[in-house]
Amino acid sequence: MNWLRTHRRTAGWLAGGAAVMVVTGALLSVSFMGASSERSPSKRAGGTSTVVAADTGISHVAVATTSLVPVFDAPGATEARQVLDNPWFVNDDPQAPAPLVFHVESADPGAAAAAGWVEVMLPSRPNGSTGWVRAADVALQTVAFGVVVDLSDHQLTVYQDGEVLFRDTVAIGKPTTPTPLGRSYIRVLLRPPGSGSPYGPYAYGLSGHSEVLNRFMGGDAEIGIHGNNDASVLGQDVSSGCIRMSNAKVTELAGKLPLGTPVLIRQ
């Protein structure tokens, strides 16, 4: 939950608490695997058009192309609300750089970019915060994937082109530290060291944060999706807010989902 609290590539902690090491090569090599070119919504059997929602079908991400990205409250604003670093460093560790990406909120990002501005979701509190960045500071890419987590039935569903790619039974936050509802996006992919990690072979950091914890193990209480070393907890409410899935499925995701992929967590 402190999303991989690393100490110069030594032991760190996630929601649920266990040692993890950042593999910086994995952060970049998997960043946009699976990113697609623009395409039309696919068709279901029988010719019925797929319903493509923002969190299940084709969407866009904005990849920072400058070392500093100012964020503004509105298009044309002259004073930045905040300035984000690119790359940013996981838990401020200079040995753990990650590219700065955003999920794009604009319904027509191409038109918005032509006008000089792009509306994006921010990795900031409160969850779901948005802002505007200059089109000159980012490059737009298309993403054909989306993730939906249904807390009531402990199901994580991955969509590709609006179609179900696969589902997995997951563990979620316990009542005192619930998994927060709402929209976020994948911000970073991390690989724990060795085998037998409590977080399995891969861990995704999301832009969302716990709504009951401000700090966790010395860092911000960020939410993640990761594997685990105890399959018996899947389907239960046991974590400090993170979403735990099967190791096989999170490994499959690591070869597909690009950073910026939207995630919807609902009841």
209 classed as catalytic: no
154 classed as catalytic: no
Superfamily of domain 59-143: SH3 Domains (2.30.30.40)
The gap from C-alpha 218 to its chain's centroid, in whole angstroms, comes to 21
Query: 14-40 b/e with 16+ CB inside 10 Å = b?
Result: bbbeebbbbbbeebeebbbeebeeeee
User: Regarding predicted confidence, which is higher, 55 or 203?
Assistant: 203
Residue with tokens 């279901």: 44
8-state DSSP, 261: -
For residue range 138-172, what is the model confidence (pLDDT) as tens digits? 999 999 999 999 999 999 999 999 999 999 999 99
Strand, helix or coil at 111? Answer: helix
Q: What is the pLDDT of residue 18?
A: 27
User: Of the CATH numbers 1.20.1050.10, 3.50.50.60, 1.10.357.10, 2.40.440.10, which one belongs to the domain with range 24-33+144-266?
Assistant: 2.40.440.10
Tokens of 178: 């619930």
> CA torsion 113→26→226→91, rounded to 10°?
-80
Q: Where are the domains of the chain?
A: 24-33+144-266, 59-143
For residue range 22-36, what is the model confidence (pLDDT) as tens digits? 333 333 323 222 222
pTM value? 0.81
132 — pLDDT class (breaks 50, 70, 90): very high
